[in-house]
Amino acid sequence: AQSVTQPDIHITVSEGASLELRCNYSYGATPYLFWYVQSPGQGLQLLLKYFSGDTLVQGIKGFEAEFKRSQSSFNLRKPSVHWSDAAEYFCAVSGGDMRFGAGTRLTVKP
């Protein structure tokens, strides 16, 4: 069965700094990978998804992610973080049903 690991439980970055959130997956076939964002007390919103083709995918809110098959990774990046990006971020892999990582909480310092 597929699984996802997000190694960082909590990350703090300064506003304007770059961001990279790590995600490693385990899946025997071609993975379908997703990043979601969750604001406190809310549901999850899809940021971006990868199915095939170009390994660098663009999403909403200025986020991008790069699929690296050799490293089984799908890391999320943003060049310049805004205070409104503070939230919890979930990586997910789908191979039938969707499996989520435990999440990374992002704090943005002024």
Partner 1 sequence: DGGITQSPKYLFRKEGQNVTLSCEQNLNHDAMYWYRQDPGQGLRLIYYSQIVNDFQKGDIAEGYSVSREKKESFPLTVTSAQKNPTAFYLCASSVWGSLADRGYTFGSGTRLTVV
Residues near partner 1, by CB under 8 A = 9, 32, 34, 36, 41-46, 49, 51, 90, 94-95, 97-103
Instruction: Compute the distance between CA of residue 58 and CA of residue 77 in angstroms, rounded to an integer.
Output: 10
Beta carbon of residue 80, minimum distance to partner 1 (angstroms, whole number): 26
Whichever of 15 and 86 has its CB closer to partner 1, that residue is 86
Radius of gyration (C-alpha) of the chain in whole angstroms = 13
Whichever of 18 and 42 has its CB closer to partner 1, that residue is 42
Whichever of 1 and 56 has its CB closer to partner 1, that residue is 1
Q: Partners of 11 in the beta sheet? A: 106
Residue 56: HSE in the Cβ half-sphere, 13 Å Cα cutoff: 5
Q: How many CB atoms lie within 10 A of CB 110?
A: 6
Beta carbon of residue 101, minimum distance to partner 1 (angstroms, whole number): 6
Of 5, 7, 57, give the one whose Cα is nearest residue 26: 5
Whichever of 29 and 110 has its CB closer to partner 1, that residue is 29
Beta carbon of residue 81, minimum distance to partner 1 (angstroms, whole number): 22
DSSP letter at 44 equals E
